[in-house]
Amino acid sequence: MNKELVDKIKNNHDYQELVSKRSSFAIKLTVAILVVYFTFILTIAFNPSALGIPLAEGSVTTIGIPIGMAIIVFAFILTGIYTKRANGEFDALNNKIKNSIKED
pLDDT tens figures, 46-90: 999 999 999 999 999 999 999 999 999 999 999 999 999 999 999
Task: Flag whether 5 is in a domain.
Answer: no
Task: Flag whether 95 is in a domain.
Answer: yes
Question: What is d(CA 58, CA 92) in angstroms, rounded to the nearest whole number?
Answer: 55
Cα 5 to Cα 10, 94, 97: the distances in Å are 9, 15, 12
Question: What is d(CA 3, CA 85) in angstroms, rounded to the nearest whole number?
Answer: 30
Tell me the pLDDT band of 102, cut-offs 50, 70 and 90: confident
Task: Flag whether 84 is in a domain.
Answer: yes
Task: Flag whether 6 is in a domain.
Answer: no
Its domain, for residue 60, covers 13-103
Answer whether 82's CB lies under 8 Å from 26's CB.
yes
Q: How many domains does the chain have?
A: 1
Task: Flag whether 46 is in a domain.
Answer: yes
Task: Flag whether 3 is in a domain.
Answer: no
Q: What is the pLDDT of residue 73?
A: 98
Model confidence at 104: pLDDT above 80: no
